[in-house]
């Protein structure tokens, strides 16, 4: 009898562990909007999971970070769920891009009725402040589609932008929690160093520092600089990190579905020759699809970059008719299993593109 009970207990324990593991998996990847353990610390809400990831590196155990969207849907159109408004009602800090991407957040802010996180108040952070924005429209003309009047808002796709995002978040944290200001600055600097080393590798960062390398990259002179001799060999032999990993597709022409990848392409030297959308936010017509296929064939383009929330039928048709490979990428961390933070996200993007090339 005791043996039977013992075996039953073991079976129940195994079933419990499996069920618990599955529940944790679902909790993390399917609808999870909470990062951090200290619910009695600062309550922080971000528009996107990437901003939450960066915030968590800085706030550590001093706050509880929640986010609205993980990029599983179109970031331009997020449904204003009551649960999101409840998050924001209790928030000490609201972190958003600060451009015209999160137009949907206006409804949530109205429903939340939390004055301290409104634009211009102490608990409002616009992470785009100080970032050099790409693709600013020459004129405000809505006939050109769903254009962003202040420039391309998908700033998180450029990893060097994370450094300025972290600085802006840190300023917000210092305002709402001045007693821990020094801690946040320390954590910000650690995060910035992590970004530099992930981007360029330890060896170059140790020699020149991340800021110098970032300036060279921004000025489009990094690759020329790395051709110089240093201690008997070219500096490019010391390049590591994402820049080294992305070298196989540097200079390649690609087609994108939408202008999601402007900062990624600018950073890693991809040339976006065309878009599946005829204009931002406008569904592709049959005529435009044929024009895109002809473009691909005439310029020998062999890759499309597509945020995974887009419809698949048009890219699949273009694949079959033009012989191009589509790379479906999660726009934000948390939208794909195993992509838990911004570093995982950049690893995943670069690895996925290289795998398609091979």
Dist. CA 187–CA 72, nearest whole Å = 29
Are 89 and 114 contacting, i.e. CB atoms less than 8 angstroms apart? yes
| Residue 146 clears pLDDT 60, i.e. is over it | yes
Residue 149 pLDDT: 79
CB 302 within 8 A of CB 253: no
- The arithmetic mean of pLDDT across residues 94-114, rounded, is 95
Tell me the pLDDT band of 1, cut-offs 50, 70 and 90: very low
Residue 2 has pLDDT above 60, yes or no: no
Instruction: Decide: 93 and 176 in contact? Cβ < 8 Å.
Output: yes
When pLDDT is averaged across residues 250-270 and rounded to a whole number, the result is: 97
Q: Which of 11-20, 39-48, 102-111, 200-209 has the lowest mean pLDDT?
A: 11-20
Domains of the chain and any CATH numbers: 35-194 (3.40.50.1980), 221-357 (3.40.50.1980)
Judge whether 161 and 155 are in contact, CB under 8 Å: yes
Separation between Cα atoms, residue 249 and residue 269, nearest integer Å: 8
What mean pLDDT do residues 268-278 have? 96
Confidence of residue 11 (pLDDT cuts 50, 70, 90): very low
According to the model, what pLDDT value does residue 54 have? 98
In the predicted model, what is the mean pLDDT of the chain?
A: 89
Res. 73: pLDDT tops 90: no
More confidently predicted of 224 and 144: 224
Contact present, 240 and 202 (Cβ < 8 Å): yes
Q: In this predicted model, which residue has the larger pLDDT, 6 or 186?
A: 186
- How far, in Å, CA of 262 to CA of 272, rounded? 8
- The predicted pLDDT at position 17 comes to 37
pLDDT in tens, 296-334: 999 999 999 999 999 999 999 999 999 999 999 999 999
CA dist list (Å): 199 to 132, 196, 316? 19, 5, 32
pTM of the shown model? 0.88
d(CA 59, CA 41): 10
Mean pLDDT of 209-222: 97
**pLDDT bracket for residue 144 (50, 70, 90):** low
């Amino acid at each position: 009898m005791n043996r039977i009970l013992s075996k039953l207990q073991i079976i129940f324990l195994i079933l419990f562990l499996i069920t618990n593991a599955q529940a944790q998996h679902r909790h993390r990847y399917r609808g999870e909007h909470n990062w951090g353990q200290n619910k009695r610390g600062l309550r922080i809400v971000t528009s996107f999971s990437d901003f939450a990831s960066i915030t968590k590196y800085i706030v550590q155990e001093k706050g509880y970070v929640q986010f609205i969207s993980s990029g599983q849907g179109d970031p331009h159109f997020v449904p204003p769920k009551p649960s999101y408004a409840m998050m924001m009602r209790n928030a000490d800090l609201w972190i958003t891009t600060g451009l015209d991407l999160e137009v949907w957040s206006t409804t949530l802010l109205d429903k939340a009725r939390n004055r301290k996180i409104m634009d211009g108040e102490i608990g409002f952070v616009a992470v785009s402040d100080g970032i050099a924005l790409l693709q600013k429209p020459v004129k405000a003309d809505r006939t050109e589609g769903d254009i962003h009047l202040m420039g391309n808002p998908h700033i998180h796709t450029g990893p060097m932008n994370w450094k300025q995002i972290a600085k802006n978040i840190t300023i917000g944290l210092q305002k709402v929690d001045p007693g821990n200001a020094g801690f946040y600055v320390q954590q910000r600097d650690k995060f910035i160093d992590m970004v530099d080393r992930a981007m360029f590798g330890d060896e170059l960062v140790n020699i020149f520092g991340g800021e110098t390398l970032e300036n060279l990259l921004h000025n489009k002179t990094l690759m020329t600089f790395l051709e110089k001799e240093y201690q008997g060999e070219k500096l490019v032999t010391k390049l590591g990190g994402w820049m080294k990993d992305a070298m196989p597709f540097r200079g390649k022409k690609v087609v994108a579905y939408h202008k999601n990848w402007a900062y990624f392409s600018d950073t890693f030297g991809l040339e976006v020759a065309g878009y599946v959308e005829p204009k931002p936010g406008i569904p592709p017509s049959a005529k435009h699809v044929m024009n895109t296929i002809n473009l691909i064939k005439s310029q020998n383009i062999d890759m499309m970059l597509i945020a995974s929330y887009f419809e698949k039928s048009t890219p699949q048709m273009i694949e079959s008719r033009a012989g191009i490979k589509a790379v479906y990428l999660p726009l934000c961390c948390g939208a794909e299993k195993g992509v838990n933070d911004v570093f995982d996200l950049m690893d995943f993007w670069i690895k996925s593109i290289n795998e398609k090339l091979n």
